[in-house]
Structure 1
């Protein structure tokens, strides 16, 4: 990635954090300059000079830019660590405000009866990891997890498993002994095993095959299965609850392939 691409990516991220395009371009421009006038900043960023002043006023109000009232005025960005912390605080405040607002919104009940069995599709690693961690946190009896892609075994996931292991039975399968050792170290109370489902792993998948990322069964009733899309490496999942005993028995016994018989959750 060359300098131009990096700058455009920075502008795009700043826009995602709430800045308008000219504001983002001026801030990125000032990060590159020790100090700059409106004229110099306009030449560097290609933001019209009259719009530079508007953008700087917004950036100053947000605590991202400082102004020296000389003639001509000089502008500079606050230190990068300080700027990123300010942006983080603003973003988190917006998210908290959004949550508080939506929690007070009245819901509309448009179903006479809730379905006994539900299956939903979801996409995106962060969303799937958050759902996985929430399901683990809500478990009351048993967690059975098989990790098919080592990259999904994040510190957040290990922390969630460790916290859950104090109250529920935690059973975790991996495809290799090295990953099993890592799980044992992080979650010493868990029962670990090397899964017999070799076809889960991305290393054994042929080109263009979709590999299974994770299989999770919580309290013998809620299932989450994710896959890794070969072209984009995006994680997608299906999630469901309220399943009948037949499907649960099959899922639990399939997921426990490689677990010694006495620890088989089907026994």
Structure 2
């Protein structure tokens, strides 16, 4: 990527975090110079000079820019470490406020619904990773995970696997991957899954590969598929001891487990 492309990406990301277009462009522009006047900043960013001052006032109020009241005024961005920390705190604060607001919204239908036999779909790597992390965090008895794609074993998931009080068994599709997993989660029981088809390498079309198979407390099941070109991820999530998908998951995952670790043995 060129410098201009990086600058455009940074401005786009700042807008996703809540800044308006001119504010984002002004901040990115100031990170490229020690200090700048409204004229210089307008030249760097293509933001109309008349709009620079409004954008700078907003950025100053958010703690992202400092102003020297000289003639002409000089502006400079706060150090990047301070700026990113400020933006992180603002984003987290908004998320917490959103959570509080959503929790305070009254239910339209207050009738309790049974969670038995539920099957849901999820899309997007972030959403699926968040659900997987939550499943491990809430586990009380056992977590069995078969890793079909290395990308699903994120740092956050590894942290939760290491922190959980539940028994953890992790399957890999190769001996080399098993060794890496054992190093990352030393207290887990690791195994070679015997499910080489998870990677889709035997599929002549290479349409899809399984990202992860997860069974938690013998009652919750998550399986995801990853498209090789876009690397987009989709998943099916099921709950309920009698759920057909959960039963199938037990049988599949058990292919690589010792009988004593077979998550289906508890149903015998």
Question: TM-score, normalized by length of structure 1?
Answer: 0.91
After the TM superposition, which of the residue ranges 181-190 and 53-62 deviates more from structure 2? 181-190
Structure 1 contact 173–256 (Cα < 8 Å) conserved: no
Deviation at 1:246, TM superposition (A): 5.5
Structure 1 contact 208–231 (Cα < 8 Å) conserved: no
Deviation at 1:243, TM superposition (A): 4.8
Deviation at 1:265, TM superposition (A): 2.8
State the alpha-carbon separation in 2 of the partners of residues 219 and 262 from structure 1: 15
Could you say what secondary structure the match of 1:56 adopts? helix
Structure 1 contact 158–183 (Cα < 8 Å) conserved: no
**CA 65–210 in structure 1, closer or farther in 2 if over 3 Å, else same:** same
User: Are residue 174 (structure 1) and residue 172 (structure 2) matched?
Assistant: yes
Match of 1:97 in 2: 97
State the alpha-carbon separation in 1 of the partners of residues 150 and 172 from structure 2: 8
Count of residues in correspondence between the two structures: 265
Give every structure 1 segment of 4 or more consecutive aligned residues whose post-TM-superposition deviation is greater than 4 Å.
Answer: 110-113, 202-208
**CA 124–246 in structure 1, closer or farther in 2 if over 3 Å, else same:** closer
State the alpha-carbon separation in 2 of the partners of residues 245 and 25 from structure 1: 52
Deviation at 1:256, TM superposition (A): 1.9
Deviation at 1:230, TM superposition (A): 2.1
Structure 2 contact 200–209 (Cα < 8 Å) conserved: yes
Deviation at 1:59, TM superposition (A): 0.7
5+ residue gaps in structure 2?
Answer: none
**CA 70–202 in structure 1, closer or farther in 2 if over 3 Å, else same:** farther
Match of 1:6 in 2: 6
**CA 115–249 in structure 1, closer or farther in 2 if over 3 Å, else same:** closer
Deviation at 1:113, TM superposition (A): 4.3
User: Are residue 221 (structure 1) and residue 219 (structure 2) matched?
Assistant: yes
Deviations 1:42-70 (A, max 9, x none): 12211111100100111111111111111
Deviation at 1:143, TM superposition (A): 1.6
Deviation at 1:262, TM superposition (A): 4.0
Match of 2:142 in 1: 142
State the alpha-carbon separation in 2 of the partners of residues 258 and 113 from structure 1: 36
Structure 2 contact 221–245 (Cα < 8 Å) conserved: no
Question: TM-score, normalized by length of structure 2?
Answer: 0.91
Deviation at 1:177, TM superposition (A): 1.4
Deviations 1:204-256 (A, max 9, x none): 55554111000111122211111112221011111121251655343212112
Match of 2:196 in 1: 198
1:258 to 235, 253, 256: 256
State the alpha-carbon separation in 2 of the partners of residues 102 and 115 from structure 1: 21
State the alpha-carbon separation in 2 of the partners of residues 61 and 245 from structure 1: 54
**CA 35–245 in structure 1, closer or farther in 2 if over 3 Å, else same:** closer
State the alpha-carbon separation in 1 of the partners of residues 144 and 210 from structure 2: 15
5+ residue gaps in structure 1?
Answer: none
State the alpha-carbon separation in 2 of the partners of residues 207 and 155 from structure 1: 31
State the alpha-carbon separation in 1 of the partners of residues 98 and 249 from structure 2: 37
After the TM superposition, which of the residue ranges 182-191 and 2-11 deviates more from structure 2? 182-191
**CA 245–85 in structure 1, closer or farther in 2 if over 3 Å, else same:** closer
Could you say what secondary structure the match of 1:173 adopts? strand
